[in-house]
Copies of this chain bind each other. A is one copy, B any other.
Amino acid sequence: MRNFLYGVDVGGTAIKIGLFSCAMQHIEKLELETPTEEHETKIFETITQGIRILNEKNGLTFDDIVGIGVAVPCPIKNGYVERCPNLDWYKINLNENFKKWVPKEVKVRFANDANIAALGERSMLYESYEDVVMVTLGTGVGGGVIIGGEMVEGARGSGGEIGHMLIVDPSEVDFDCGCGSRGCLEQIAGTRGILSYAQKMIEKYPDSILIGKKFTVKDVFDAAKANDKAASATFERVTEYLARALAIIAVIIEPEIFIIGGGVSKAGDFLLQSIEKKYKEKARFDTDKIRFALAVTGNNAGIIGAALMIKES
């Protein structure tokens, strides 16, 4: 009987592997270092090795495993990656390639990590939602779009790339986005955008508690909470643009709920309330009724979502 699932989350530095029962009970998690070279084979090898370790520890074999879902930080469509510079993958069908590493009875599916995180977070909501948009705030600004319970990968894997919505006047930013363009939401609400704008604001408001310090995004948001002028100006700008982005998404696909997650979202209710308030001022028609929630799975969204993707397939 196949009663177990694996959810794997491949990040730039670590590969997380989670073992779950088919009832989605989390059994055990293992973290291995992401190989820094020969990605094409080494990542598959590392995943397989991790699964073997967890199988053995739990008295399981591949005959007990329904499948393995894997979250990867790349644009990906039906397992195919055109290019993923982060992991040095080019023109590769990850599903087909990884299948060679495990018995053919074991299901294999790769998908984008932000879309998978949305799937994971959706499963944690108290009510059941079919249409969900999740925004992941961190170094970058990621997104996951679920419509009718299905991840929207897009025609070539760019579905949910919310961080690259062109909503900023390019003259507002003085550096290029990671995607090579200018004017992306990420340039305001990603780590680099936040820190560089905060620095400018500190020069403008030299009474800032952040002056002369090496600060993080968390420091900026904490200072904003304490009404520091430079930090507040930065925080307001971030939440203003996030609210605009959500107001735009709302009139295109109108999800039932927005979920805010990622590292920056540790600012929690303070962040959520500011985004939600500004969002409601901008929302058209009945889109002000869309609900908001903070992500709850934290670092586990990837492994939970990846396992769920197999369970629901």
**Chain A residues close to B by CB (< 8 Å):** 75, 82, 131, 143, 145, 147-148, 150, 152-162, 164-167, 169, 179-181, 184, 244, 247-256, 282, 284-287, 289-290
Contact = CB atoms under 8 A, between A and B. Distances in A.
B285 A164 contact: yes
A222 to B, nearest CB: 30
A150 B148 contact: yes
A184 B148 contact: no
Nearest to A143: B252
B131 A181 contact: no
Contact of A284 (B148, B164, B255, B290): B164
Contacts of A161: 251-252, 254, 284-285
Contact of A249 (B147, B157, B252, B285): B252
A287 B180 CA distance: 13
A251 B165 contact: yes
Given A131-B154, A148-B148, A164-B285, A159 B254 contact: yes
Given A158-B284, A166-B282, 4 more contacts: A156-B285, A156-B289, A158-B287, A159-B252
